[in-house]
Structure 1
Amino acid sequence: MAVESTQVAQVRTFNRFYTKVIGVLQSGLAGTPHTLTEARVLYELAHADHGSTDHGSTDHGSADHGSAVDVAGLRRLLGLDAGYLSRILGRFESAGLVTREPSATDARRQLVRLTGDGRSAFAALDAAQVAAVERLLAPLADTEGRRMLAAMDTIRQTLGDSPGRPGFVLRPPEPGDLGWVVARHGALYAAEYGWDARFEGMVAQIVADFAAAGDQRRQAAWIAEVDGEPAGCVFCVAENDTTAKLRLLLVEPSARGAGVGARLVEECLRFAGRAGYRRITLWTNDVLASARRIYERAGFRLDGEEPHHSFGRDLVGQNWSREL
């Protein structure tokens, strides 16, 4: 992207604000005697005990000492100047928090490990940081907290972090979610399939009918939430007294591949069975290949298809159903 001076200023303003919020400018992090960099070094040394870091060491230590970590690997992991890291480790060694020794297999390598006092110091630091984050989050409403955490995740992932597949929860719609369903259907189907505003209008009518009916015994909807933000949806409504209809299955691109769509369909089927329906149907279009695979795996069978021109495109509509 072409970077403008106002964008640079915005990032720098955020950095100044957030470093103040988390106390980086203070002499000690979260009220402890350790700086942010020292805290990160202690973190990596402490977590080497659990095998969660890989610094090239195979020495797992004794009952009184943690696993040994290769100093050069630690420096590369944290991106620290060799002299700066050496001074930090020197201070830790003087305080009895770490020991340093040459590698038994390569005298050119230096290993460092936490002592018992070092593990205690990290435990106190970790507890202080947890308490500080709790104080930060506690005044926020649930929706504010979820938005902030999702924004943090977005920053982290955009700048190169690569977490595993996202976890998700299913919940009933909350105020504002029905509008989200309409907006995201309109935006995603326009971007991915070129469908025009008539599709968004159809979705709006389906959602409006659902809200107006207010029949919680015979209809339901679910929102899939990832990191505090809506990431998918599905609706179950009545077609007639014995037949339910699955409608408006959607999964955000960022949440695809994590089983969100299959889980939404499964929940819809479970509800339809509990509500006393004997059969469930759905209408889709042949271009929606990913959704079709989900329906097939859930036991739906194609009943028929017919060409039509809708939403500004030539499409093939499909009717699917299954017994419950």
Structure 2
Amino acid sequence: MPTTESPAVSAVPVEAVKAVRRFNRFFTRQAGVLEPYLGGALPLTEVRVLYELAHRDALVATDLARELGLDGGYLSRILKRFETEGWIVRSPSPRDARQSLLTLTEAGHAAFAPLQQKSREEAAALLAPLPPREREQVVEAMGWIERLLDPTAPRAPTRTVVLRDPKPGDMGWVVQQHGELYAREYGWNSEFEALVAEIVAQYIRKFQPEWEKGWIAELDGERVGAIFVVRKSATTAQLRLLLLTPAARGLGLGSRLTDECIAFARAKGYRKMVLWTNSCLSAARAIYAKRGFELEKTEAYEGFGQQLVGETWSLKL
């Protein structure tokens, strides 16, 4: 039976259609979609579902199915399998008693972490042979494709987020920003800036590139955040100096920086990650708790011109 095309579809030149199909074949081959995805046992769709659960809060199955374009029954079978594996838990939705909120468990995060790391490595390997300007052109082109083909995408200028290695001058900025932000937002005095300067100096002098790493976050070319992993012992990594300027808040950058640290520590074979924070830093504490960090110890103390409660958190890797 002949098919009837809409006028809009029939108006697309044949060569343009061939170009789209050719690009689809090219990119699926480059991205390794035709092979076992990321070298693991999970198919692409299940990895994508895990990704959404790892990066989104308060998801319900109907929203997940709609946003991923999945059949409800198919998604239900995937979620049942995840539940059997102990990767997700369900809790009643406060908005609709007929719906359940889906939350990734610590085991779920542990299952997803190596897949996320492998995905990052494959994407980096794809871009690595290109000179810096050509990499930028590829990323810009992909952004244009997204914006032009997705009618729901915002037309405002895209904000570019980059996580990169620290370079000369960055560490002084880290000290300065800690001093300014904590004085303005929490009333801490210069003792805190001195502490950060000592931590930074020790990190630079004793840096072990095989076991330690730092990230500087840029937003539209401006520094807006930082985080570091240091080697505390042969089996324990320490997360240090998570920082976000006000311009970067609400974009999920704190979560992204923390995820980078956890993935790095797991890839290096650390068995535990620890961190020290203060009870008043609620946003950072929420990020740590969501990723499975557990509060091990609290201690009241006087420091930085304030009465504070220090906290030690840890995560089994």
What is the TM-score of this pair, normalised by structure 2?
0.51
Aligned to 2:312: 319
Q: How does 1:123-202 map to 2 (within 5 A)?
A: 166-202=159-195
State the alpha-carbon separation in 2 of the partners of residues 274 and 211 from structure 1: 22
Q: Residues of 1 paired with 2:285 and 2:309: CA distance?
A: 13
Equivalent of residue 209 in structure 1, options 180, 202, 206? 202
Aligned to 2:302: 309
Q: What is the aligned partner in structure 2 of residue 76 from structure 1?
A: none
Whose radius of gyration is greater, 1 or 2?
1
Aligned to 1:272: 265
Q: Which stretches of structure 1, 4 residues or longer, exceed 3 Å deviation after superposition?
A: 162-167
8 Å contact kept, 1:304–1:319: yes
Please show how residues 1-324 of structure 1 align to structure 2 within 5 Å.
Answer: 166-324=159-317
Contact 2:160 2:221 in 1 (8 A): no
Q: Tell me the matched-pair count.
A: 173
1:166/1:255 contact within 8 Å kept: no
> Do 2:235 and 2:269's aligned partners in 1 also have CA atoms closer than 8 Å?
yes
1:174: how far off? 1.3
Q: Distance in 2 between matches of 1:292 and 1:270?
A: 19
Q: How far does residue 166 in structure 1 lie from its aligned partner after superposition?
A: 3.9
Q: C-alpha separation between the residues in 2 aligned to 1:320 and 1:163?
A: 40
Secondary structure of the 1:307 match is strand
The TM-score normalised by the length of structure 1 is 0.50
Give the drift of 1:301.
0.7
* Contact 1:165–1:258 under 8 Å retained in 2: no
Deviations 1:114-135 (A, max 9, x none): xxxxxxxxxxxxxxxxxxxxxx
CA distance in 2, matches of 1:187, 1:180: 10
Q: Give the Cα separation in 1 of the matches to 2:261 and 2:236.
A: 13
Are the counterparts in 1 of residues 178 and 243 from structure 2 also a CA contact under 8 Å?
yes
Amino acid at match of 1:178: M
- What's the offset of the Cα at 1:243? 0.5
* Unaligned stretches of 5+ residues in structure 2: 1-7, 13-132, 134-154
Deviations 1:82-119 (A, max 9, x none): xxxxxxxxxxxxxxxxxxxxxxxxxxxxxxxxxxxxxx
CA–CA distance in 1 between the matches of 2:221 and 2:305? 34
SS at match of 1:191: helix
Change in Cα spacing, 1:291 to 1:163, as seen in structure 2 (3 Å) is: farther
Cα drift, residue 63 of structure 1: 6.4
1:214 positional shift = 2.5
Q: Percent identity?
A: 49
> Structure 2 CA distance, aligned partners of 1:313 and 1:164?
42
Judge conservation of contact 1:281–1:320 (CA < 8 Å) in 2.
yes
Deviation at 1:163, TM superposition (A): 5.0
Does the aligned pair in 1 maintain the 2:229–2:261 contact within 8 Å? Answer: yes
Letter in 2 for 1:184: Q
Post-superposition Cα deviations, 1:203-222, rounded to whole Å, max 9, x if no partner, equal 00111000001210111100
**1:174 and 1:322, CA in 2 relative to 1: closer, same or farther beyond 3 A?**
same
Q: Is the Cα–Cα contact under 8 Å of residues 198 and 311 in structure 1 kept in the other structure?
A: yes
